[in-house]
Amino acid sequence: MIYFLGILTIIFLVMAIVVISKMSGVMRGVNATSENAEPVANNKLNGVMWLVALILGIVGTVWSYYAAKDGFLPEASSPHGRRTDELFWFSMALMMIAFLAVNILLFYFSWKYQYKKGNKATYYPDNLKLEIIWTAIPAAVMVVLVFTGYRAWTDIMSDAPNNALVVEIMGKQFGWMTRYGGSQDDKLGNYNYKLIDDNIQNPMGLDFSDEASFDDISHVSEMHVIKDRPVALKIRARDVLHSVFIPHMRVKMDAVPGMPTKFWFTPDKSTEEMRAELGNPNFDYEIACTEVCGRGHFSMRMRLIVEDEASFKKWQSEQQTILATVLQSKPDYIARIPENLRAKAMKYAPAAPATDSTTVQTGAVTASSASLK
Amino acid sequence: MSVVAINTQVDAHVEEVHEHHEEQNFWRKYVFSEDHKTIAKQYMITGIFWAIIGIAMSVVFRLQLGFPGINLSWLKPVLGRWITETGTLDPNFYLALVTMHGTIMVFFVLTAGLSGTFSNFLIPLQIGARDMASGFLNMLGFWFFAVSGVIMFWSLFLHTGPAAGGWVIYPPLSALPQAHIGSEMGMTLWLASMALFIISSLLGGINYITTVINLRTRGMTFSRLPLTIWAFFITAVLGLISFPVLFSAALLLIFDRHFGTSFYLSEIYINGEALPNMGGSPILFQHLFWFLGHPEVYIVLLPALGMTSEIIATNARKPIFGYRAMIASLLGIAFLAFIVWAHHMFVTGMNPFLGSIFMFLTLIIAVPSAVKAFNYITTLWRGNIIFTPAMLFSIGLVSLFVSGGVTGIILGNSALDIQLHDTYFVVAHFHIVMGAASAFGFFAGIYHWFPKMFGRMMNDTLGQIHFWATFIGVYLIFYPMHYIGIAGFPRRYYQFTNFDFAKSYTDLNMFVSIAAIFTFAAQFIFLWNFFYSMFKGRTATLNPWRSNTLEWTTPLVPGHGNWPGEIPAVYRWPYDYSKPGAAEDFIPQTVPYSQTPESNLPHETALIAEEEELGEINLNDQFRTAH
């Protein structure tokens, strides 16, 4: 790489020297190209340059692909991702044919039909048949692309399967938060943006008048999903536009304040498997933001962990419920919960008040240990 | 005969008018001019000024991206507090730089700079008119643009910085000052500037359309118009219909920002506060913005394509291949341009059904675009090509148009856009197909019409060096960017080091940045050539490119009214180059068929009978003289 840069620098320096040395000669007011065979200065040189550019261009195009492909993402870890990747490379192959054919003809004709004294150009103003042919062929190619793209798109945008794991992911300046329906009811509780309060640990605005919220858990830096089980993402944002991008899964959907969006996918390669496959024990699936959202747009990282069901359930049971965290932060919040649900809510209250902020709440109720009785 | 009597009366009247014609003062001649040629030069110089600023901005943020951790303290004298104590670029200002780069390049350089210059300069000259339909509106149009530029320029120096939400300025980020410092006064000034800019564009557009419809000279039917004029005309129609929608989007945003409305805002909690706004939708803004945004890219591109047609035909010494198909494809592209906007919104959460519709319409637009590219290539086939700098840039434009266009087909496929949206793949696509292609059109136009603007020639050798350095440079910058996009690198990222998946390609990013610096440097060859030749270039001949169009029949540097005497009549289309049987390898439009019996095609011989009548008509030139 460094050698390439070196060569480029040398080329640049040479060109700079050529330019500067030509400036003085040129600025002396070169006379109009007189009766030499060139209609404009350096016509033959420029003609040859098109050929040189063509050859270098083709070499560069082919070489750069082989040099760059190691930097591509690994094979997609979701079926729809592999499908769109296949469609992408198929479409790119078609486009490369067009790209090369058109540019080759353009550069080649520029060289071949350069001015020659005594030559006369061919007066060829139109040819309807030719126009029809080269209208029809691109149109046919477009039909193929539209059809295949439409099929893929409608499949990807179809409703999530019934057995999907529902995960809510909320974007904010500058991070993500995930929320799960809890191991009791597997159902996400209602939320209301007016209830958002970072000070009492309710950043997602959970509405505790809905008892389905009681066992919800959340996380600020991780999303856990189960290998081979579809994931239905429920996506929202609480301040400005964000966008959920999971590059290895080929997932992308904007997070819009005031308009929940969704995207479902099936992760079929676990984090462990990827670590083994890539020979990188530190590999992690990542979630990034791809809609400019302010100063920290480039640093909204969340880890996605794809694991087997047992590990997932273990992780889920270890998380403190949001309700417990809220009550821990503000014990008298219990008064805000509707009377008929208060008893149930109390089961989620931390058992002992915190003596200091570092004490682990062993008594705090976790998602798995709260009973419904 | 009565005709003769009327003529003498007209002559006497003309003499009177001449006597009262005073020399204009400096301000009316050079500043508040109503002469389309002066206004064109004003747009051109302003466009070049903004291009230098816009490209310099891109070099700064490419330094940040290509050399992470680079010490930019040497920029402190210019950028002040935007370079921190340790020499790093402030992340807020990084976003401001990319926003302003986009805004400046798309609107100020490639819309006002490109259309404003060449539509103004060429329309009256190529259709055979004394000036635009309204010189006054034309002058107003430029000055609205100048004022909008001053406001935008001012915003660069605000303490809180200019707008920084991307050139698309999506709310809620752009609506809430508390979301980003760029959304404070910087955003207010951006909106004010753009409101004035839109007015300027509309004033210009109305003028171009009216002039082309009403002020064509005798014999200049629509089917004899140079393709440049067709392109400018259709571009103006595109602008007239689409710019007002951006105006409305901006107006609603101003209301949300300052008057408590909720057009784009709903359920927002920010900086510890739950805002009262309910019921609005950020998606509304995106629809309104892109309803302009998509036609806008064709507004940027079509004038360049039109000029390329002219320059390629002239320098290949051949008619443009498929004149009618070229017009049909311009019309097709223009029509389709209005109904594809939501391909910018596939993953916004809008109804997926819309995604299918817009994918279908978007892929159709590739067809007329392909036709144009094929026609250009066939024009070169069996030509006798002269490589003036203008010709080089025009051929380069065709290459860039195709190379960038094919990736548009990938992005227009909604299923593929899921992965590629908001990555560097998109950045590569639009820079090649729109940015570089139109910039090449701008250069081609300047090199080609410089003799008509200033009566002097630019230096051909320097122009050719400028071309090759820029052409190679542009490909070196943007071709590798596709790989970066395929690898998933997101747009508008200050740095890539926070993510493992974006840790590769550090070398490639560095390479792109170096290529950008190199290409920027190469533009100074052009600037030198341009300004030096304006004063010291060798004097041009009347028709240095041996071209057929009307502008070359004016004096070396045309004055007010363009033709000192009567405006010539037009008898043929502009593409009779290397016609079999003809004496020269070009026949200007002003040469009647009656004078070229040796090269007339059968249907042209039939038109000779009408030519005498043509001489008698006079609808637009009542005094038969410039005054």
Contacts of A66 in chain B (CB under 8 A): none
Q: Which residues of A touch B487 (CB under 8 A)?
A: 71-73
Handedness of CA B610, B615, B618, B621 (dihedral sign): positive
Residues of B in contact with A278 (CB under 8 A): none
Tokens coding A279: 């020979």
How big is the A-B interface in CB pairs under 8 Å?
A: 380
Distance between A272 CA and the closest CA of chain B, angstroms: 16
**Nearest C-alpha of chain B: how many angstroms from A88?**
6
Instruction: Please indicate if any CB of chain B lies within 8 Å of the CB of A74.
Output: no
What phi and psi values does residue A226 have, to the nearest 5 degrees? -105, 130
Q: Which residues contact B10 (CB under 8 A, 6 or more apart)?
A: B622, B623, B624
CB contacts of A15 in chain B (<8 Å) are: 465, 469
Residues B457-484 have a mean pLDDT of 97
Q: Are B532 and A157 inside 8 Å of each other by CB?
A: no
pLDDT band at B14 (very low <50, low <70, confident <90, very high): very low
Q: How many Å lie between the alpha carbon of B480 and the closest alpha carbon of chain A?
A: 8
Closest CA to B574 of B604, B611, B547: B547
Quote the minimal CA–CA distance from B118 to chain A in Å: 24
User: Chain B within 8 Å of A110 (Cβ-Cβ)?
Assistant: yes
pLDDT for A1: 57
Give pLDDT, residue B143. 97
> Above 90 in pLDDT, residue B18?
no
Residues A88, A91, A93, A98, CA torsion sign: negative
Q: Could you write out the three-class secondary structure of B286-338?
A: HHHHHHHHHHHHHHHHHHHHHHHHHHHHHHHCCCCCCHHHHHHHHHHHHHHHC
Among B383, B483, B585, select the one facing A68 at the smallest CB separation.
B483
Confidence of residue B616 (pLDDT cuts 50, 70, 90): confident
B84 vs B403: CA distance, rounded Å: 40
Inter-chain residue contact A119 with B384, CB threshold 8 Å:
yes
pLDDT (tens digit per residue) in B475-498: 999 999 999 999 999 999 999 999
Structure confidence at residue A231 (pLDDT): 97
Which chain A residue has the Cα nearest residue B347? A253
CB-closest option in B179, B387, B486 to A72: B486
Of B283, B514, B580, the CB nearest to A123: B580
pLDDT computed for residue A362 by the predictor: 47
Q: Is B273 helix (H, G, I), strand (E, B) or coil?
A: strand
CB within 8 Å: A91 and B413:
yes
Taking the Cβ of residue A23 and every Cβ of chain B, the question of whether any pair is shorter than 8 Å is answered with yes
Chain A residues near residue B349 by CB distance under 8 angstroms: 235, 253-254, 256, 259, 261-262
What 8-state DSSP symbol labels residue B111? I
pLDDT at residue B180 tops 80: yes
What's the per-residue H, E or C state across chain A?
A: CHHHHHHHHHHHHHHHHHHHHHHHHHHCCCCCCCCCCCCCCCHHHHHHHHHHHHHHHHHHHHHHHHHHHHHCCCCCCCHHHHHHHHHHHHHHHHHHHHHHHHHHHHHHHHHHCECCCCCCCCCCCCCHHHHHHHHHHHHHHHHHHHHHHHHHHHHHCCCCCCCCEEEEEEEECCEEEEEECHHHHCCCCCECHHHCEHHHCECCCECCCCHHHCCCEEECCEEEEECCCCEEEEEEECCCCEEEEEHHHCEEEEEECCECEEEEECCCCCHHHHHHHHCCCCCCEEEEECCCCCCCHHHCCEEEEEECHHHHHHHHHHCEEHHHHHHHHCHHHHHHCCHHHHHHHHCCCCCCCCCCCCCCCCCCCECCCCCCC
**Chain B: residue whose CA lies nearest to A24:** B462
How large is the average pLDDT for residues B243-270? 97
CB atoms within 10 A of CB A52: 14
The two beta strands, A302-307 and A222-226, are parallel
pLDDT for residue B9: 43
Low-confidence ranges of chain A (pLDDT < 70): 1-6, 9, 12, 16-37, 351-373
Domains of chain A: 165-346 (2.60.40.420)
Interface of A with B in 184-213 (CB under 8 A): 193-194, 196, 198-199, 205
H-run or E-run covering B14: helix B2-19
pLDDT of B623 reads: 78
Q: Establish if A31 touches chain B: CB-CB under 8 angstroms.
A: yes
A363 CA to chain B: closest CA distance, Å?
Answer: 30
- pLDDT for residue A371: 45
Instruction: Count other Cβ atoms within 10 Å, centred on residue B198.
Output: 22
Tell me whether A346 touches chain B (CB under 8 Å).
Answer: no
Ranking A352-356, B188-192, B305-309, B453-457 by mean pLDDT, the lowest is A352-356
Looking at the DSSP bridge assignments, the partners of residue B586 are B577
ipTM topping 0.90 = yes
CB atoms A120 and B578 under 8 Å: yes
Per DSSP, the three-state class of B185 is helix
* CB within 8 Å of B459: residues ≥ 6 apart: A26, A27, A30, B529, B532, B533, B537
Indicate the helix (H) or strand (E) that contains B270: strand B269-270
CA distance B600 to chain A (A): 13
The reply to whether residue A290 touches residue B423, judged by beta carbons under 8 angstroms, is yes
Which pLDDT does position B622 carry in this prediction? 79
Residues of B in contact with A149 (CB under 8 A): 359, 363, 413-416
- Please list every residue in chain B whose beta carbon sits closer than 8 Å to the beta carbon of residue A207: none
Nearest CB to A153; choose among B267, B356, B494: B356
Contacts of A261 in chain B (CB under 8 A): 348-349
Q: Cα separation of B111 and B303, whole Å?
A: 9
B598 to chain A: which residues are within 8 Å by CB? none
Minimum distance, in Å, between the CA of residue A302 and any CA atom of chain B: 9
Cβ neighbours of A297 in B, within 8 Å: 95, 492-494
A286: nearest CB among B406, B491, B499: B499
Contact list, B318 vs chain A (CB under 8 Å): 121-124
- What share of chain A has pLDDT > 70, as a percent? 85
- What is the residue-averaged pLDDT of chain A? 88
Instruction: Tell me which chain A residues have a C-beta less than 8 angstroms from the C-beta of B366.
Output: 138, 142
pLDDT at B24: 80
pLDDT on residue B3: 43
Nearest to A342 by CA among A212, A232, A208, A246: A208
Q: Which of A134, A152, A247 is facing B488, going by the closest CB pair?
A: A247
pLDDT tens sequence across B400-453: 999 999 999 999 999 999 999 999 999 999 999 999 999 999 999 999 999 999
Taking an 8 Å cut-off on Cβ atoms, the answer to whether B418 and A198 are in contact is no
Q: Residues B33-536: name the CATH superfamily.
A: Cytochrome c oxidase-like, subunit I domain (1.20.210.10)
Query: Which of A177-191, B69-83, B310-324 is predicted with the least confidence, judged by mean pLDDT?
Result: A177-191
pLDDT of residue A28: 52
With H, G, I as helix, E, B as strand and everything else as coil, classify residue B443: helix
Q: Which of B385, B444, B399, B449 is nearest to B577 (CA)?
A: B385
CA pair distance A127, A136, nearest whole angstrom: 14
Cα(B372)–Cα(B379) distance, integer angstroms: 11
Distance of CA B311 to CAs B441, B547, B575, Å? 10, 9, 11
Measured between alpha carbons, how far is A49 from B69 in angstroms, rounded to an integer?
Answer: 38
User: Out of B321, B359, B460, whose CB is closest to A125?
Assistant: B321
- Mark yes or no for CB contact A298/B494 under 8 Å: yes
pLDDT of B581 > 80? The answer is yes
Distance (Å) from the C-alpha of residue A371 to the closest C-alpha of chain B? 34
Is the Cβ–Cβ distance between B544 and A32 less than 8 Å?
Answer: no
Considering only the beta carbons, identify the residue of A29, A120, A282 that sits closest to B384. Answer: A120
Cβ-Cβ contacts under 8 Å, B367 against chain A: 135, 138-139, 142
Among B348, B490, B501, select the one facing A254 at the smallest CB separation: B348
B273-274 vs A285-289, strand pairing mode: unpaired
Distance of CA B33 to the CA centre of its chain: 22
Chain B CB contacts of A174 below 8 Å: none
* Residue A102: how many other CB atoms lie within 10 Å: 22
Q: Which two tokens stand for residue B106?
A: 């798309």
State how far the Cα of B250 lies from the Cα of B256, in Å rounded to an integer.
10
Tens of pLDDT along A111-156? Answer: 999 999 989 999 999 999 999 999 999 999 999 999 999 999 999 9
